[in-house]
Amino acid sequence: MQAAAAGGSHRMPRQPCWREGRAADGAGDGLPCRQPLDQKPRGCLWPAAGTRKARMNATTAATLPGALDPQALIRTYIRAKDENRPHLMAQAFAADATLEMTVKSAAIAFPARSEGLAAISDVLVRSFGRSYDNVYTFCLAEAPPAADAQRYGCDWLVGMTDKAGGGVRVGCGSYAWAFSAQAGARRVQALTIVIEAMEVLPPDTAPAVLDSWLSRLPYPWSTAAQVCAQAPALAQLAPVLAYLRSGAADRSH
């Protein structure tokens, strides 16, 4: 290594700033910005390292097989579904996991019960990915599950476009997760999904829903208050926002 010039100081290379999967200098590493607030690169909108949102939403080694805390398992599932990567489901769900779904909308359909990793992967990722793209799924909670959690529940929000016609769909409901440890590996043992609402919007609402709203929310962990505060003024979203507001109000009591 060459010595620093006389009278000067050794200048450490600037750490990359992760934003939407890209680094400011073209060398993204999947981590949130590691710079202190007063040293963050210009244009960086990602929370500084150590802030709460950075810890909740960082894409780190927690999405890899060796890090099996409940928060990582949920993040891995969301990545598998939103990015249409069924191979990741084995890193999140037990081989004998179960999925139960209650659908309260005629706008979308799922089987009521699925058993085993293969069946769950087909329902939640493969079949889903054949119909929808531009998927954003959010867990809505004030805090993610604790590292030793056995169960966890939260509301969720999803937005996406229909591949066939380009229409926009926005839905909401609740998750109930149960975690287990098999041969030292933690996995999702059971998942119950309730779909409370699924609204269908015309294709011309995609910029307002995807670009100006969902893509700007903290991902994948957000809160109902953030979602509702930034939602576009579209009448079709009323059922979704009403459900999320009622859930936030219930948790505040």
Q: What is the pLDDT along the chain (253 residues), one digit of tens a residue?
A: 444 444 444 443 433 443 333 333 333 333 344 344 444 444 444 444 444 554 556 544 334 444 579 999 999 999 999 999 999 999 999 999 999 999 999 999 999 999 999 999 999 999 999 999 999 999 999 999 999 999 999 999 999 999 999 999 999 999 999 999 877 789 999 999 999 999 999 999 999 999 999 999 999 999 999 999 999 999 999 999 999 999 755 554 3
Q: Does some domain include residue 14? A: no
Range(s) of the domain holding residue 51: 27-58
Q: Report the domain count for the chain.
A: 2
Does residue 246 share a domain with residue 226? yes
| Residues 83 and 54 both lie in one domain | no
Reported for 11-17, long-range contacts at CB under 8 A and 24+ positions apart, including other chains, are 14/41, 17/41, 17/44, 17/46
Residues 77 and 46 in one domain: no
Q: For residue 19, tell me if it sits in a domain.
A: no
Pairwise CA distance, residues 250 & 253, whole Å: 6
164 and 46 co-located in one domain: no
User: Does 139 share its domain with 93?
Assistant: yes
* Residue 1 forms part of a structural domain: no
For the entire predicted model, the pTM comes to 0.75
Record the tokens describing residue 219, joined without a space: 């991902």
- 36 plus 99 within the same structural domain: no
Q: 238 and 196 in one domain?
A: yes
Considering the domain architecture, whether residues 74 and 50 belong to the same structural domain is answered as no
Residue 163 lies in a domain: yes
Give tens-digit pLDDT for 22-37.
Answer: 333 333 333 344 344 4
Q: Are 99 and 150 part of one and the same domain?
A: yes
The arrangement of strands across the sheet holding 168-182 comes to 113-115, 93-103, 185-201, 168-182, 151-162, 132-140, 221-222
